[in-house]
Amino acid sequence: QRIFALETTLAKGHWDVVKTRDAMATYNPTSFDELPNRVRDILAGSQLPSQNLINMMPSYTDHLNDLLTPDRLADWQLWATWHILRSRAGYLAEETAQANFDFYGTQLSGATLQKDRWKRAVAVAESLVGEEIGKIFVEKHFPAPSKQEMLTLVDYLVAAYRDRISNLVWMTPATRERALEKLEKFNAKIGYPEKWRSYENVEFSSEGKDLVENIRRGSIFLHDYELSKVGKPADRDEWVTTPQTVNAFYNPVVNDITFPAAILRAPFFDPEADAAENFGAIGAVIGHEIGHGFDDQGSQYDGEGNLNSWWTDEDREEFNKLTTRLIDQFEGLVPAVLKKNEIETTGVNGAFTVGENIGDLGGLGIAVVAYKKYLADQGLNFATSPKKTFEAEGSEPELADQEFNGLQRLFLSWARVWRTAIRPQMAVQYLAIDPHSPAEFRCNTIAGNVEEFYEAFQVPEDAPIFIKPEERVTIW
């Protein structure tokens, strides 16, 4: 109860999830000596290698300083002890590990069974020596030609963005020029890093009898590695993830997009698949990540990754008008799994998810433009694109033998990547902590805003996915 009470008091000093998205508000350069006195005293033991700091939440730092008082010492000791035990609970005796899972796995997330022991073991290895695991994954699962095919797709998506930005009616010419400059400076990291991280200085126990100690040693190595970068120029070739991670990333401070090898597999990417399917899946993801460079956060960084207000006030105002309409579309949407289980919720937070929704909207819309450019290079268009069947496990039997043109298969491929099964408990959690909208809305609400979706399919006005023409949002 004392630990929970302290955590609750701490939380009162935090900003809400929407304010923490404000890049300008969270960029507060300061020095070590300017920190509140008690916070500074605690950090003094960390031997930070630089006096220069960024205080991302000054009001919270002040709030924390007010709580670091002698009369709370016993509570802080309990708090620190609990955090240490909690972080290692899953690796201790089975009884402790099970108690940890019963709360975090079952009570909070709705899971009934722990992952197999070997999967948990792999997760530990990944967390400590991720790129060593990555080498094995790439060797076994990432064919060399896939990298070049991905670079070709990236080129098509960048070209599509170039066309759309050049013809934006809501952006002033000066800002369009700056946006195009930023676009040309994008760097794409595909599959795996060119230079692998070395773990030779990690002194793991060779006997394999002390798991917790090995985790401690690995954690110290990773901590020291991060500290070693402080005060040095950013390494633009460094990867922020491992090749075996199923995800994609945009990093605004270096203006690059990263696509690990693990996401470059079906259903997102298949070198043997039809171009329409790849454009609708990984193509939309590429467009999504590039789009983050121009969303509510990324648009505050220039092509070099500097926090720099390069938009005019007029452009920002027009952009905000469009994003406000998108916020309103998503605000309060309730996932089907919560409706089915009659779980009360306020639904999607449109302001919290707006950055990812901008990414999805731009990603799918630009993927359509990129596919159109690809077809033109083949002497084709949407109407003359080849008709083929579309395979998706679990889809309606009556669709199995039906043929679809390229534009239709692009949208079907987009839908296929969003097939999701989720427990109600996790759905509730994600609404509170995940800046992405639930999968069903990422799929349908986004598609409903794309004009070509209505060209591909005869969508009746009473269909749930239908959005009135005057209410559809196009940003990029």
pLDDT per position as a tens digit, 136-161: 999 999 998 999 999 999 999 999 99
Q: How much is the average pLDDT of 2-18?
A: 95
Output the average pLDDT for the chain: 94
pLDDT of residue 233: 87
Kindly list the structural domains of the chain, giving each domain's residue range(s) and its CATH number in brackets, ordered by start: 2-107 (no CATH), 144-192+237-471 (3.40.390.10)
Per the CB < 8 A criterion, the answer to whether 57 and 15 are in contact is yes
Per the CB < 8 A criterion, the answer to whether 416 and 430 are in contact is no
* C-alpha atoms less than 13 angstroms from C-alpha of 411 in its C-beta half-sphere: 21
Residue 194, token pair as written in the block: 């060119």
Phi then psi for residue 40, to 5 deg, are -60, -40
Cα dist from 407 to 252, 411, 413, 448, 464, whole Å:
32, 7, 10, 15, 21
pLDDT exceeds 80 at position 318: yes
pLDDT per position as a tens digit, 189-219: 999 999 999 999 898 987 767 899 999 999 9
In the structure, what pLDDT confidence band is assigned to residue 74 with cuts at 50, 70 and 90? very high
Task: Name residues whose C-beta falls within 8 Å of residue 329's C-beta, 6 or more positions apart in sequence.
Answer: 350, 445, 449, 467, 471, 473
Active site residue 75: no
Helix H or strand E encompassing 141: helix 117-141
pLDDT of residue 323: 96
* DSSP classification of residue 307: B
Active-site position among 302, 318, 360, 452: 360
Active-site position among 131, 289, 302, 356: 289
Residue 272, token pair as written in the block: 């043997």
Rg (CA), the chain: 24
Q: How much is the average pLDDT of 178-187?
A: 96
Task: Name residues whose C-beta falls within 8 Å of residue 203's C-beta, 6 or more positions apart in sequence.
Answer: 217
* DSSP classification of residue 197: P
Active site residue 315: no
Q: How much is the average pLDDT of 80-104?
A: 94
pLDDT per position as a tens digit, 382-434: 999 999 999 877 667 777 789 999 999 999 999 999 999 999 999 999 999 99
pLDDT exceeds 70 at position 43: yes
pLDDT of residue 208: 67
Nearest to 258 by CA among 283, 241, 279: 241
pLDDT of residue 242: 97
pLDDT per position as a tens digit, 247-281: 999 999 999 999 999 999 999 999 989 999 999 99
Q: How much is the average pLDDT of 6-25?
A: 94
Residue 14, token pair as written in the block: 């935090």
pLDDT of residue 400: 77
pLDDT exceeds 70 at position 121: yes
In the structure, what pLDDT confidence band is assigned to residue 45 with cuts at 50, 70 and 90? confident
Q: What would you measure as the largest C-alpha separation in the chain, in angstroms? A: 77
Alpha-carbon gap, residue 404 to 26, rounded angstroms: 48
pLDDT exceeds 80 at position 98: yes
